[in-house]
Amino acid sequence: MLIRNETVSDSPAISRLVTEAMRMLPQASGTEAGIVEGLRADGALTLSLVAEENGAVIGYLAASQARIGDEGGWGLIGPLVVLPSRHRQGVGSALMAEALRRLRETSRGAALVGDPAYYSRFGFRAFPGLGVTGCPPEVVQALPFDGPAPRGELIHHPAFGLKQPG
């Protein structure tokens, strides 16, 4: 398995994979591939990693810039998806390890909205006062690389279509 940056020719495969993988989740909105396309169109993807095996895209991770409260410099991870037939084979873990390695060079920390049972293995956790309007607080998680604990609203890029506070 090779973890690499996406290329232009990967876009259709990424969209199909994101749609197929997210369809399995009860919280999926069906708009996730469009979010990635919006981030890409706006030049907002700070990371766009694919896991490739035998020439096929089997996993994908996107990261974009985010703010927590008034504090910029956070890397927002999402979506992270793996071909359903390749679940529990280390694809997602390999993508996350590479993303965190790269984000440590450029960001004050990483943040995401996701399953605590899965993301805690990478060091993510919920923090008092960290949130996203409309999300249960336990699924809004961060991994600070240095500095104080994050506190405030996790502000996503507009491509996510979330109502921003204020």
What is the domain-level CATH number for residue 84? 3.40.630.30
In a domain, 90, yes or no: yes
The model carries a pTM of 0.91
In a domain, 146, yes or no: yes
Give, in order, the Cα–Cα distances in Å from 105 to each of 45, 60, 134, 164.
16, 20, 31, 28
In a domain, 125, yes or no: yes
| Domain that includes residue 27, residue range | 2-160
In a domain, 165, yes or no: no
- Considering its fold, how many domains does the chain have in total? 1
What is the rounded CA–CA span in Å between residue 139 and residue 22? 16
Nearest to 160 by CA among 29, 12, 13: 29
In a domain, 166, yes or no: no
E-strand stretches of 19-125: 45-53, 56-68, 71-82, 109-113
The full DSSP string for 97-110 is HHHHHHHHTT-SEE
Residue-level pLDDT at 163? 58
Residue-level pLDDT at 4? 97
Q: Mean pLDDT, 10 residues at a time, over the chain (166 residues)?
A: 95 90 66 84 94 95 95 94 91 97 96 94 96 92 92 90 58
In a domain, 19, yes or no: yes
Residue-level pLDDT at 25? 60
